Structure 1
Amino acid sequence: MIMVMAAPIALPVFGQTPVTNPKGNQTTAYDLLQQEANQTGGISKATLAPLVVNTDLPTYNQGDTIVITGHVRDTQNATAVTLRVFNSLKNMISVAQLLPSADGSFTKTFLATGPLWKAAGNYTIVAQYGLYTNTNSTFHYNGGDGSSTITKAINSTYALQSGGQTYNIPYIIKGGTVSSMSILAPQYTLEIALNTNADGSITLTLPRNMIDAKVPPPPNPDANLTGAKVDTSQLEDNTFIVSVNGKQVTQFTETKNQYVRILSIPFHNGDSKIDIVGTVIVPEFGPIAALVLAIAIISIIAVSAKTGLRFMPKY
């Protein structure tokens, strides 16, 4: 894991420059499409699969909300993604169409409820984009009696303040609510506080210029002498380290593109905290805050020099 500590008055680690936002101080996960890849980092488009589709959990019960995330590599104007759900008997039981976001990512929910959701077994989601691009994903359904039972899911956005910007983080949570999200810059961690009342999951869309995970670069003995900085856009993606209530978990799914990484993380009733650890993160104080602090220090020095003001007693 790359652990590059930021200076006391720091720009983002790895020498990243803050993204200019034409809308002011608001940055959403999907606004990142407006930035060049060499500004935001990310991965090469050529490494992405043409079409990806995932579910937030491997198994569902009657009444559950199934959260589907995906990505289209080569988007076409006004072309929708078609999602079809087939039960264990190969019968189609649900269908939906949706336009992917400008960056190619998409999220859709299905309710596992009603008369068509009876048979237990392995179900298949078939995603199709255009005439020739398709893929699928499977999950297990534990079966039901056909009644219209619904387990509540919350689809919302959290405004996270960090690095002098506001990041609006879209999320879908089942089995609880989100109390807070916060950046722990020294630990390269996004911390999420939860109130849970049942087993569930949370699906988050995380912008890469806020938090990312990269494979360490090759050793460079001359880096300290030359002041060379690592360009994260040239590094291979690594897996986030995710822990729930302090215990590391590996059973989570991810959908990603050049600009965002979408994580679906399961949790149990009673869990109260999720930590997502990366290797690149925005600092606690952005460049504007650093500038204000520097001006304040210079002003204090200038005033004290001019007036003879002392902060320590003279002996």
Structure 2
Amino acid sequence: MESCKLNFGKNHQKAVLVVLLTVSIISVSSFSFASAAGGISLTASAEGRPSQIDISGETTRTSDITITVTAPNRNVVSIAQITPTADGTYAAKINTGGLLWSQDGFYKITAQQGTGGIFKVALEVEVKGGKVITPYAFISSLEDGRVAALEPERGLTLFADAIEGSTTITANGHTTSFNDITLTVKAPNGNVVSIAQILPDINGNFEKKITTGGPLWKQDGFYKITAQQGEGGQFKSTVEVEIIDGRVIPEFGAIAALILAVAIISIIAVSARSRLSIMPKY
């Protein structure tokens, strides 16, 4: 039996070399792409400090980060260069106010390393009268190089506290915006009986005492108290308080329900003991 021998000519050798070279290029390219994966994140927070923006974030690069802030008219109002720490985090503080921040509107904050790409992210915060209206914003390109923004839960809550028979209502609540709050009270017939403008404190809390009584409060029924910021429904909340003869009639709340429950249980217990005491003895 004659043995079979493989004979590669010059053309075959060239073909093999081309295939090997192609595989090598693909491998190197894949490795380079994997090595280049990463990104940067940016957080802007003004919670509790409406005249200061706290900047922070993470990056997978070690080069300096340039933080730029542009006003609504596109003028640069702040620029800084930050070196990330060994674990890839960075932080900075930006003070608002002054002539450069006198324009109301949305200010753009950009964090960039190198020429950009996935290492360039930007977000916007609203500033009014030198105070930051947007308490929190976040954007990131760290996950597979895709840019993702996160909007925190925002809104306004309103409560009305009063003692039965009182002529004072305490309207209070919390908001995630630093805008002025318009507090309106309407009678059952829809007429406005009280209106006031208040500012939330640095933590977003607010409180206003409303005095009932007088000709405007002579109609018995439910009065609507509304707190609103701007035009959006997200920052608008309404509660109702019943007024009789100019005095507060609170809702049948949890405390009243608890007192009623205790009273019913006491009556049942006393009745049971009474039945036991009158049962004949044998």
Q: Give the TM-score normalised by the residue count of structure 2.
A: 0.33
Greater radius of gyration (CA): 2
Structure of greater relative contact order (alpha carbons < 8 Å, 6+ residues apart): 1
Higher helix proportion: 2
